[in-house]
Amino acid sequence: MSRTVTRADLAEAVHRDLGVSRQDSSDLVQAFLEEISDTLASGEAVKLSSFGAFNLRDKNGRIGRNPKTGEEVPIEPRRVLVFKPSQVLKDRVDGSSAG
């Protein structure tokens, strides 16, 4: 069974690994995530070495089709967030890396 890592789990790891207080570790994780969010919201990409890159992609509007009724439905243009993992992360997830 897979498990989801939460913000609280990240804060606990910072507390355990760095020895800072639980409140400080929670604040640190919160500040880190807010910085990433704010940067993306302003239209800039976020690149984290040896982890990956978060980029924004603008998708054009198009005509879609409701699969149930077959009715054509317009899909509005939108901006989507994409994540591209680094080769280091891909290798680690794949088990190819000893690290």
Q: Answer for the pair 52, 84: CB distance below 8 angstroms, yes or no.
A: yes
DSSP character for 53?
E
* Token representation of residue 17: 């690994």
DSSP-based three-state secondary structure for 76? coil
Q: Answer for the pair 11, 26: CB distance below 8 angstroms, yes or no.
A: yes
Q: Which helix (H) or strand (E) holds 40?
A: helix 22-41
pLDDT above 80 for 96: no
pLDDT band at 34 (very low <50, low <70, confident <90, very high): very high
pLDDT above 70 for 98: no
Predicted pLDDT at 2: 80
* CATH match for 1-44 among 4.10.520.10, 3.40.50.2300, 3.40.50.300, 3.30.230.10: 4.10.520.10
For residues 28-36, give the mean pLDDT: 97
Domain residue extents for the chain: 1-44
For residues 68-94, give the mean pLDDT: 95
Portion of the chain with pLDDT greater than 90, in percent: 92
- Mean pLDDT, the chain, rounded, equals 93
pLDDT digits (tens, 9 = 90+) for 51-78: 999 999 999 999 999 999 999 999 999 9
Q: Please count the other Cβ atoms lying within 10 Å of the Cβ belonging to residue 29.
A: 19
DSSP-based three-state secondary structure for 84? strand
pLDDT above 60 for 97: no
Predicted pLDDT at 95: 87
